[in-house]
């Protein structure tokens, strides 16, 4: 029953966050506050020693995530989401027959993070196929984004970052890029992905299906 409450609180909070991230790439702190306060209140239904041990292992991972913000690979809301998950669900759930695939990891937030990242993995290949159709085969940019006219970025307010600066191709997105100066010129851009959408689905999948990575690895045993 407690795990169902955690599933409900997390799903509602993350669905709001995912919608906000998709619409504006900005998320208020309300869902993380709800998840954090609820997690602390429900913490006493866990084995406290194991719960704190799990959080002690996962917290350094979130510090690494903070460092990734500098490379535009993650945003501050993504890290806050994982802090909320860490407090709400430090240990794996167990209700009815779920999750279907039991994880060998007792650090449940890590399972959620890995599942979320696995869902992101097909995106570079989708970029590649899109660019293959348009015959844009510049590596590695064809896996990181696509070409777009600079004026379209300005007029359509696209959530994209440039993969070019000073006439040179870049691997990491350029945040402060003035698209207005380039008019009709086509530039390589990388979309600012709403990662919280993947975290939301990763959260649901982790509760219901379980550990995707462990399942995939078990197929080769």
In this structure, of 28-32, 109-113, 176-180, 198-202, the range with the lowest mean pLDDT score is 176-180
- Supply the mean pLDDT for the chain: 89
Domain boundaries, the chain: 2-121+194-218, 122-191
Question: Residue 58: which residues within 8 A CB-CB, separation 6 or more?
Answer: 82, 86, 90, 107, 109, 110
Note the pLDDT of residue 73.
Answer: 62
User: Residue 74: what pLDDT?
Assistant: 67
Judge whether residue 172 has pLDDT over 90.
Answer: no
pLDDT in tens, 37-83: 999 998 888 778 888 888 888 888 887 777 766 665 667 788 899 99
pLDDT digits (tens, 9 = 90+) for 94-110: 888 899 998 888 889 99
Tens of pLDDT along 125-149? 999 999 999 999 899 999 999 999 9
Q: Which CATH class is domain 2-121+194-218?
A: mainly alpha
Asked whether residue 18 carries a pLDDT value surpassing 70, the answer given is: yes
Nearest-Å Rg of the Cα atoms of the chain is 20
Q: Looking at residue 71, what is its pLDDT? A: 61
Q: Across 11-15, 23-27, 47-51, 160-164, which has the greatest mean pLDDT?
A: 11-15
Has this prediction a pTM greater than 0.85? yes
């Amino acid at each position: 029953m407690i795990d169902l409450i955690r599933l409900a609180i997390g799903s509602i909070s993350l669905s709001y966050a995912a919608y906000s991230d998709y619409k504006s790439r900005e998320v208020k702190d309300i869902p993380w506050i709800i998840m954090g306060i609820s997690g602390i209140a429900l913490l006493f239904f866990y084995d406290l020693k194991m719960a704190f041990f799990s959080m002690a292992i996962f917290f350094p991972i979130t510090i690494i995530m903070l460092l990734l913000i500098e490379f535009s690979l993650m945003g501050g809301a993504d890290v806050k989401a994982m802090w909320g998950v860490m407090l709400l669900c430090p240990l794996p759930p167990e209700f009815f027959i779920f999750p279907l695939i039991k994880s060998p990891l007792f650090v449940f937030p890590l399972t959620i993070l890995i599942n979320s990242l696995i869902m992101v993995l097909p995106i570079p290949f989708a970029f590649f196929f899109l660019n293959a159709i348009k015959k844009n085969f510049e590596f590695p940019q064809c896996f990181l984004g696509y070409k777009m006219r600079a004026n379209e970025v300005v007029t359509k307010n696209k959530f994209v970052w440039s993969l070019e600066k000073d006439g040179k191709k870049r691997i990491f997105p350029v945040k402060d890029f003035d698209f207005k100066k380039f008019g009709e010129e086509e530039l390589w851009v990388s979309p600012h992905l709403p990662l919280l959408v993947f975290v939301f689905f990763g959260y649901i999948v982790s509760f219901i299906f379980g550990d995707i990575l462990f399942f995939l690895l078990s197929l080769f045993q």
